[in-house]
């Protein structure tokens, strides 16, 4: 049984297209899943923006009072790729339009409401997490929570149905819980705990995903989601493609489909790093190559051999072209490995570590860097986190997916780097501290020629969404 | 059978509360209708903001080219009351965040997509109207439409289901088509033509609404909706309350529930004006008093008599308290009047009138003013409208609901005023020209203590939405 | 002896060029007067912006306190034509950059410090007026003055030398006090009282100026400057050019140099209106035609005759071409008229009139309109002005110079208009209430090809400034 | 003879107070020097903002054309401490207010015009440097210079007098050229070359200054100013105070006046680092202790001995209390050292080094760090600099004065750091490339209680400026 994330409308109309799988490896009804689906994202967007509107309204009527709001932490959200909404100024033109503020929109999958919905195990926990959200600080220096606004009930009401997991199926009838959709570079990158646990009630084997590579998705999956939910995954599947490996090895984007031994043999150093990250959690690992039609037998053989030498299991997955049949090798490998004895997750850090230590352990154990350097804003936030009694929360790293460092312009595979932490953001409702490393964009942009130009309705059917 | 507008989430959490009726005169399921309902508003919001994101993206990649976009006319929208979003600046911080622009959000019911969905009589007309939307002007001075962006299909896809009317019922089982929800001060204020025409297929009598008073809602209902859809309403019901009449007559808001003969007899001058507006369309009129428990028999008798003298039909409606039974007098009066011969609608202006003439006729015939005065921006727009061949479109007045003039600080009942038109806005997709009179806010704010503070989920049921 | 305003750097580099006269009718050293001169404008700019910086700093450190500043009224200024500074948002990027605010720059001649420097009759009065400036309102609703900021001394120190009038001379050696430079459409349009009074100490005849036409400059000169300073001008010279008259009469800008009897005879209606305005103050009037080389004898004769019929004195001024000799006819006429008995100024309104009455009297007596209509913001301000005890201040009208109305798109000579007052601004330090009629721009823009393109330094001499 | 920088008005009203020296070691007339002085700063401010206004005007009229301006690099400036002007959005409200842009003000001493005026050796070079200024880039990707705007002459005209050095004197009559005032953390930190060279014409010994410590001021003095002007300083005086040394050694700000051997002996490590920086330029060094009345004989003796051990000359300066007499020991030491043979400056880098190498050499040789790490924006700029043929320019480091690193929260004395370069800014007119390290603020703020609160005019004299 599957437990996956819901696709976001934004990328669907942008570069990435839909996120319901591809070829014969898909969940259906694909168009509905990719567009409005059951309205969960819309409900989250509405809840988020109703809360910000109520917050700004309180701020407007209480300015100049110590209990008024000095700092607003919460952002608005929209499920769209719109770069111009990243940084905006609101409240302009006349005083009756509210207090001018610099703020911004994040894409709905990067919102705290998305995160806390995914972290909740029922309506009451959802309400509690909404109640706990840190929306800002008052002039008196006090934290200001949703409960201080008195609208927890109203926001919960908007999410009453969205908290329920959605059941769909693959083209071959495998049941799939698709629920929640946080991104993995900035958010915690996992589908909802409710969906995963529901799937575990019904399936013998439950397959879930953790976005981007192991330094981002897997690290958060183990340290945040599994720890919170008490999950013990039996093993990890590390998915690779020949193109990505060659790209990492220095190949050009235009020729990465062609055989290139030099690039491949250099690129596997990246794979090796990801394997070692998974092993740091005491996970058994299966490397899976998602096969493309242009992959040569020689390349596959080379890779299989490389894994053999490294004593890591390896399988080819050809389900895009062949459906379940193409996944047989991989499935058998998974079953075999699951039958071997497991060790409990070894978390990268303890919840009792202080925040800086948590980050340092992630940097040194997972990213392979030498240390962490906090900027003044981050140092100030650590004091604030301590004062608020939130030091015990796990850390959700917000870091570029293009590097093991905070600087997308270098790779960091050599380990000669420290991680700069510019700022810390408290996601009190979601239950973690976000560590912002370098410049992170929480609202994507569209490419020059977006997918939207190819979407249409033909004879009442939507086309071009895939 | 009823054909009504869908409530907007924004006011629901604000001052007004829900819009599904009240007491025993309600449509159900009230909470769902008032909140997410069938997702129509969410789909419109998503369609609107996906279109603006695509537009800004095109602008970003084509700046510095004659075919690039100089002026963006389209606004973003959200179904929320958030005053700080009225006027914003987007695209800040770094050039990769797009081109800095001053823009704003309107509430979803004030968006052009809401308007054109309500004006469409099917998916193909919807697609055509989206295709026709004027999004901006290029540096070369050319109009820039959705079709120039090449994303008509994608936006239509997002509205594929929203264009379908929704069927619900009253507490007593009367079927009600609830579909579309444009506001009447700034938009055209009527539910969708599809819903009205569907209701006309099934009901012997179809009751529909036109928001705010006759100078706003009714004028647009007759001159825009009925003209476009070829509708010929049998009669008009003019709804009054004793409190509103006394308020118009100078009573204080705190004591308007108490008997006040002086205020009442002065306030009916307002009622008289609205009757005369309806008669200007050759409509048969029934004045209905929505009865409150504190209305005295004397007041009602005085009003009935006043109508008698003016030779206008009158009935009391007590359906809030008594349901259908309380509406019997009104219903009988409606049936009686419908049996009398009707005259075709006499439109206030001809479509062949030029834009300034259209507005002047509305000002003199409907508002009772002496003339219209165009500001420079409006004069320039008239030239643009002519150049674009859009002079034949009807005019949708955007005017305060608090006055017959453009200045909310005076009443205008005396007729000693001219209407200032500051600007004209082309809603090419909706099929009308919006005339902006004075300062109009297209995004509401929240009151000091919003309704959201009273909404909750108790035992899985939503409370406080009414 | 002359008492004139200092030129502003902004227009000097823009469309207008310098303001030191022209031809043989000039003050020297022209380049210095037009550029930095004695640094008065720079000192005013520095004083203004130091005050706003101190104000924003106080606001920053006192936000969230009742005595903190809720509303900032004061604007920044620069002596430059820069349209993009009209409306700006400041305080962006991080909280340490201060509180985000919507504000703007006015050109230095439109600043209140310029106005109050011109209204002061010594350093102590200057200090008092700076002390009195209303900078904003606190959260507690109290007015916030310079004295509350505690920096009156520092701002006065920056203006210690600028308050002293500057003495220069014309090409022919006539002494000229050039000091202060408020614009006449938005500010009060007169040079400093100190300069005028100093000139009166030394000259037998003192000639001063009042910017733009009589509805703006003269009205404020009599009702504000003369009233405050106790001045009784002996007479008024109304300057006309054939081109302006023909333009008013409907001639085209490209052919206004050519004879055009129809336009001229229609255009004098404008002149007649200005004569009647001056007479409303009980002034003796001399109409002077500033002669251009293309003016024909017939035109001049026609105009002379027209004045004769209207019983208004008339003279031709040819000093541009001929210097003092060309001004002999005008000078003789001035001397003759000054020898006739004078009446004291009849002010348009009494200081004891309430604000609305003052404006109404200006509208009906000076502009020729029928009434004034206040918008809500202006009505609210009247209450505030009353509460602050400032009703006795004169009114400084801020109105377009292109019309007798507030709408630059119409002329208003027909008298069929009311004046809309959108807002009232308290210039407590300058000692007047500014009535903002329609949209007024207090920061000019540059033309497509600005004068700056023709300015240079050649052999150590500045060229192109004239 | 002295050659010093002009004080900036901003800090004068802020925390720092004036910059004309103190006690008996002052230049006079102090008040005039600290405030408007000869108007140089005002002229630079006017020139800068006239240029930006002309640039924005060109941009406004040429938008949508390939030769139009895509990116504006130039900032506005004001000589004021106003944190809210650091980051602003301009051009708001209506399209006629220009193109909305995110920009900001720097303080006048941080402007490129200040820098290029200080680098110019005459009016013609000034004109050439203005002509060369890179104002932005066109849509076609071309650099856009002042010459492309065609206003070089106009801007030069505004600076015609400001380019001339100003001569004043100390309290004891020593002549002092005070001219130009760039800050040393963000600009190049030296007075004008014209002033220094003029002083060298007249004085036997010329003393000049380089702002902040040796890592900032001295590095730029040698590598930028001396290299450009062909200057060979005879020696360097390194000024220290006991308080600063103890602060560096860990003492508390409140007790740094008290003897504290531990802090002192730890703090000299900082002094040692600065000595070694000066020696890297092959300079002879004299350490001078600016004596305060609370300095103990023991402390001074300890320090003198420490210098002796390090083989560095040492002298005490007591001129604040005693004037020239108090400077005798220092003066004699200077004369003695000047009589010893000198070596030519050894520059930290060659102009022929590429930009990254130049920065790396500064980081490793001067700051003591291990390497430089360029961010993406900086990397892109290097390509642009190469394409523009500007690789030969020296580098002007913009770095916090609170650390040898780019992070003010750590000291960096241990040498275990790399310098992050976020961005490179081309100052083509000034003739250098600015390397922006971390977050640098080019517009200061005011303290909670600014000096302005103590400035006044008493009996016509300015008080409180010191």
* Interval B9-14 mean pLDDT: 90
Distances, alpha carbon B400 to alpha carbons B396, B439, D382, in Å: 13, 8, 56
Model confidence at C466: pLDDT above 80: no
Q: pLDDT, tens digit, for every residue of B247-265? A: 999 999 999 999 999 999 9
Q: What percent of chain D has pLDDT over 70?
A: 100
pLDDT-based confidence at B16, cuts 50/70/90? low
Predicted local distance difference test score (pLDDT) of residue B17: 67
Q: Is residue C235 part of a domain?
A: yes
**What's the pLDDT at B406?**
86
> What are the Cα distances from residue B461, in Å, to A149, A154, B31, B291, D439?
21, 12, 9, 30, 51
> Count of CB contacts below 8 A, A vs B?
203
Q: At D228, is the secondary structure helix, strand, or coil?
A: helix
Please count the other Cβ atoms lying within 10 Å of the Cβ belonging to residue A311. Answer: 7
Q: Do A100 and A90 touch, CB atoms closer than 8 A?
A: yes
Across the range C312-330, mean pLDDT stands at 97
Do A153 and A174 lie in one domain? The reply is no
* Facing residue for D102 by CB, picked from B65, B68, B93: B93
Q: What pLDDT is stored for residue B302 in this prediction?
A: 97
Residue C418 and residue C375 in one domain: yes
Is residue C112 in some structural domain? yes
C-beta separation of A421 from A405 below 8 A: no
Task: Answer with the residue of higher pLDDT: B22 or A15.
Answer: B22
Nearest by CB: D139 against B64, B102, B138: B64
| Mean of pLDDT values over A42-47 | 98
Residue B341 has a pLDDT of 95
Instruction: Grade residue D16 by pLDDT with cuts at 50, 70 and 90.
Output: low
Note the pLDDT of residue A373: 87
Run of H or E including A147: helix A146-149
Residue C433's beta-bridge partner residues?
C395, C426
Q: Which residue of B has its CA nearest to D104?
A: B93
- Spell out the residues 6+ positions from residue B403 whose beta carbon is closer than 8 angstroms to its own: B409, B410, B411, B412
Please indicate, yes or no, if residue A348 is contained in any of the structural domains.
no
Tell how strand C395-398 and strand C432-436 pair up. Answer: parallel
Q: What is the mean pLDDT of residues D127-139?
A: 97
Gap between the Cα atoms of C398 and C401, Å rounded: 9
Distance CA C34, CA C17 (A): 9
**C327 and C428 belong to one structural domain:** no
Q: What is the CATH number of the domain that holds C249?
A: 3.40.50.300
Checking phi first, is residue B250 left (phi over 0); if not, alpha (psi -120 to 50) or beta?
left
For all residues of chain D together, what is the average pLDDT? 94
- Write the CATH number for A389: 3.10.410.10
Which chain D positions have a beta carbon within 8 Å of C82's beta carbon?
49, 52-53, 56-57
> A48: Cβ–Cβ under 8 A, 6 or more apart, which residues?
A74, A76, A77, A108, A111, A112, A113
pLDDT at C16: 66
Based on the domain organization, do A320 and A383 belong to the same domain? Answer: no
Among D104, D126, D158, identify where a domain stops: D158
- With beta carbons under 8 A apart, name residues in chain C contacting B373: 407, 410
* pLDDT of D17 higher than 80: no
HEC profile of chain B: CEEECCCCHHHHCCCCCCCCEECCEEEECHHHHHCCCCCHHHHHHHHHHHHHHHHHHHHHHCCCCCCCEEEECCCEEECCCCHHHCCEEECCCCHHHCCCEEECEEEHHHCHHHHHHHHCCCHHHHHHHHHHCEEEEECCCCEEEHHHHCCHHHHHHHHCCCCCCEEEEECCCCEEEECCCCCCCCCCCCCCHHHHHHHHHHCCCCEECCCCCHHHHHHHHHHHHHHHHCCCCCCEEEEECHHHHHHHCCCCCCCCCCCCHHHHHHHHHHHHHHHHHHHHCCCCEEEEEECCCCCCHHHHHHHHHHHHHHCCEEEEECHHHHHHHHHHHHHHHHHHHHHCCCCCCCCCCCCCCCHHHHHHHHHHHHHCCCEEEECHHHHHHHHHHHHCCCCCCCEEEECCCCCCCCCCCCCCCCCCCEEEECEEEEECCCCEEEEECCCCCCCCCCCCCCHHHHCEEECCEEECCC
Q: What is the mean pLDDT of residues D29-47?
A: 95
CA distance B433 to chain D (A): 20
- Does residue B186 sit in the same domain as residue B296? yes
Q: Which of C138, C158, C178 is the last residue of a domain?
A: C158
If one counts the domains in chain D, the total is 3
**Both tokens of residue C97?**
């950059």
> Does the structure show a pLDDT above 70 at D428?
yes
pTM of the entire predicted model: 0.90
B186 — pLDDT class (breaks 50, 70, 90) = confident
Q: Has residue A338 got a pLDDT over 90?
A: yes
Q: What are the residues whose beta carbons fall under 8 Å from the beta carbon of D304, sequence distance 6 or more?
A: D314
CA distance A57 to chain C (A): 16
> Distance (Å, rounded) from C-alpha B362 to C-alpha B350?
11
Residue D72 belongs to a domain with what CATH number? 3.30.1510.10
At C420 the pLDDT is 87
| Rounded distance between C-alpha atoms, residue B79 and residue C417, angstroms | 41
- pLDDT over 70 for what percent of chain C? 100
What is chain B's length? Answer: 466
If residue C21 lies in a helix (H) or strand (E), which one and from where to where? strand C21-22
CB D351 within 8 A of CB D55: no
Residues of A in contact with D410 (CB under 8 A): 373
Which residues, other chains included, contact D389 with Cβ-Cβ below 8 Å and sequence gap of 6+? Answer: none
Q: Which residues pair with D434 in a beta bridge?
A: D396, D425
C264-289 per-position pLDDT tens digit: 999 999 999 999 999 999 999 999 99
- Residue B186 belongs to a domain: yes
d(CA D421, CA D363): 11
Residues D287 and D225 in one domain: yes
Per-residue pLDDT tens over the stretch A151-176: 999 999 999 999 999 999 999 999 99
Q: Is C270 helix (H, G, I), strand (E, B) or coil?
A: helix
Residue A16: per-residue pLDDT: 67
A84, A102, A453 member nearest B150 (Cβ): A453
Given a cut of 90, is residue D394 above it in pLDDT?
Answer: yes
Q: Tell whether the model's pLDDT for residue B277 goes beyond 80.
A: yes
Measured between alpha carbons, how far is D282 from D346 in angstroms, rounded to an integer? Answer: 6
- Would you say B76 and B88 are in contact if contact means Cβ atoms under 8 Å apart? no
Is position B443 within any domain? no
Contact A376 D92 (CB under 8 A): no
Residue C1 in this model has a pLDDT that exceeds 70? yes
Q: Do A379 and D407 touch (CB under 8 A)?
A: no
Quote the CA–CA distance of B397 and B423 in Å, as a whole number: 11
Q: Is the ipTM of this complex over 0.85?
A: yes
Residues of chain A in contact with residue C100, where contact means CB-CB under 8 angstroms, are 89, 100-102
Specify the range with the lowest mean pLDDT, choosing from A92-96, B278-282, C35-39.
A92-96
Residues C315 and C275 occupy one common structural domain: yes
User: Which of B156-165, B409-418, D403-412 is modeled with the greatest confidence?
Assistant: B156-165
Per-residue model confidence (pLDDT) at position C17: 67
The mean pLDDT value for D106-131 works out to 97
Regarding beta strands A285-290 and A313-317, do their DSSP bridges make them parallel or antiparallel, or are they unpaired?
A: parallel
Looking at the domain assignment, is residue C442 inside a domain?
no
Mean pLDDT of chain C: 94
> Do B274 and B390 share a domain, yes or no?
no
The whole domain housing C374 covers 355-437
Is the confidence at residue B440, as pLDDT, over 80? no
Q: Is the separation of the CB atoms in D262 and D249 below 8 Å? A: yes
Query: Do A177 and A321 reside in the same domain of the chain?
Result: yes
State the chains in contact with A (3 or more Cβ–Cβ pairs under 8 Å). Answer: B, C, D
pLDDT digits (tens, 9 = 90+) for D234-277: 999 999 999 999 999 999 999 999 999 999 999 999 999 999 99
Asked whether residue C458 is domain-assigned, the answer is: no
Query: In terms of residues, how long is chain D?
Result: 466
**Beta carbons of D65 and B70 less than 8 Å apart:** no
Examine residue D268 and state whether it is found in any structural domain, yes or no: yes
| Facing B407 at nearest CB: one of C375, C407, C410 | C375
Shared domain check, A211 and A313: yes
Which residues, including other chains, have CB under 8 Å from residue A466's CB and lie 6 or more apart?
A: A17, A18, A20, A22, A30, A34
Cβ–Cβ contacts within 10 Å for residue A275, how many?
21
Residue C219 pLDDT more than 90?
yes
Residue A134's H or E segment, with its range, is strand A134-138
The confidence score (pLDDT) of residue B20 equals: 87
pLDDT exceeds cutoff 80 at A355? yes
Q: In whole angstroms, give the CA distance from residue B183 to residue B7.
A: 10
Phi, psi of A136 (to 5 degrees): 175, -165
Residue in chain B nearest A460 by alpha carbon: B160
Interchain pair C154, D56: CB under 8 A: no
Same domain, yes or no: A299 and A363: no
Percent of chain A with pLDDT over 90: 85
Average pLDDT, chain A: 94
Q: Say what the pLDDT of residue B435 is.
A: 95
To the nearest whole Å, the CA of A377 is away from the closest chain D CA by 9
Partner-chain contact C465 D157, CB within 8 Å = yes
Q: What does each C-alpha distance from A17 to A21, A76, B153 come to in angstroms?
A: 10, 24, 15
CA of B108 to nearest chain D CA: how many angstroms apart?
23
The CA-CA-CA angle for residues A259, A261, A266, to 5°, reads: 125
Q: Do residues C148 and C201 both lie within one domain?
A: no
Long-range contacts of C263-266 (CB under 8 A, 24+ apart): C264/C299, C264/C302, C264/C303, C265/C302
Mean pLDDT over C159-177 rounds to 97
Per-residue pLDDT of C98-115, as tens digits, reads 999 999 999 999 999 999
End residue of a domain, out of B280, B304, B338: B338
pLDDT of residue B124 exceeding 80, the answer is: yes
Burial degree of A97 (CB within 10 A; 0-12, 13-18, 19+): buried
Which residues of B are less than 8 Å from D89 in CB distance?
89, 92, 100
Q: What is the mean pLDDT of residues D279-298?
A: 97
Q: Which residue of C has its CA nearest to A92?
A: C102
């Amino acid at each position: 049984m599957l437990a996956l994330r819901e696709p976001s409308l934004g990328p669907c109309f942008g570069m990435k297209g839909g996120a319901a799988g591809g070829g014969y490896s898909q969940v259906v009804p694909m168009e509905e899943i990719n567009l409005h689906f059951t309205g969960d994202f819309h409900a989250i967007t509405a809840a988020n923006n109703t809360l910000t509107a109520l917050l700004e309204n309180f701020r407007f009527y209480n300015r100049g009072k110590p209990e008024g709001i000095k700092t607003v932490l919460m952002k608005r959200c929209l499920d769209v790729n719109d770069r111009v909404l990243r940084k905006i100024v609101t409240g302009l033109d006349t005083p009756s339009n509210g207090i001018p503020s610099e703020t911004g929109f994040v894409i709905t999958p990067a919102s705290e409401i998305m995160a806390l919905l995914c972290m909740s195990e029922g309506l009451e926990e959802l309400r509690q997490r909404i109640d706990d959200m840190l929306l800002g600080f008052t002039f008196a220096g006090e934290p200001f929570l949703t409960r201080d606004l008195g609208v927890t009930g109203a926001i919960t009401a908007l999410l009453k149905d969205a908290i329920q997991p959605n059941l769909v199926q693959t083209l071959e009838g495998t049941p799939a819980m698709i629920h929640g959709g946080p991104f993995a570079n900035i958010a915690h990158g996992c589908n909802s705990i409710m969906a995963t646990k529901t799937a575990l009630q019904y399936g013998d084997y439950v397959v879930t995903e953790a976005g981007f590579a192991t330094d981002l998705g897997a690290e958060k999956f183990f340290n945040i989601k599994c720890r919170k939910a008490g999950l013990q995954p039996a093993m990890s599947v590390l998915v690779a493609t020949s193109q990505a490996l060659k790209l990492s090895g220095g190949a050009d984007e235009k020729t990465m489909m062609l055989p290139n031994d030099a690039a491949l043999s250099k690129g596997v150093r990246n794979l090796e790093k990801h394997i070692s990250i998974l092993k740091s959690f005491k996970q058994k690992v299966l490397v899976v190559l998602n096969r493309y039609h242009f992959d040569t037998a020689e390349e596959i053989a080379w890779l299989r051999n490389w894994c053999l030498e490294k004593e890591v299991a390896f399988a080819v997955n050809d389900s895009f072209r062949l459906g379940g049949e193409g996944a047989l090798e991989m499935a058998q490998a998974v079953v075999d490995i699951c039958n071997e004895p497991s060790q409990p997750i070894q978390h990268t850090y303890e919840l009792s570590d202080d925040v800086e230590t948590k980050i340092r352990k992630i940097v040194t154990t997972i990213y392979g860097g030498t240390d962490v350097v906090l900027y003044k804003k981050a140092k100030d936030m650590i004091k604030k986190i301590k004062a608020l009694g939130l030091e015990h929360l796990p850390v959700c790293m917000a870091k570029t997916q293009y590097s093991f460092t905070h600087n997308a312009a270098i790779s960091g595979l050599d380990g000669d780097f420290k991680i700069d932490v510019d700022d810390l953001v408290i996601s009190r409702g979601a239950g973690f501290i976000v560590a912002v490393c370098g410049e992170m964009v929480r609202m994507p942009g569209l490419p020059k020629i977006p997918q939207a130009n190819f979407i249409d309705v033909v004879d009442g059917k939507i086309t071009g969404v895939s």
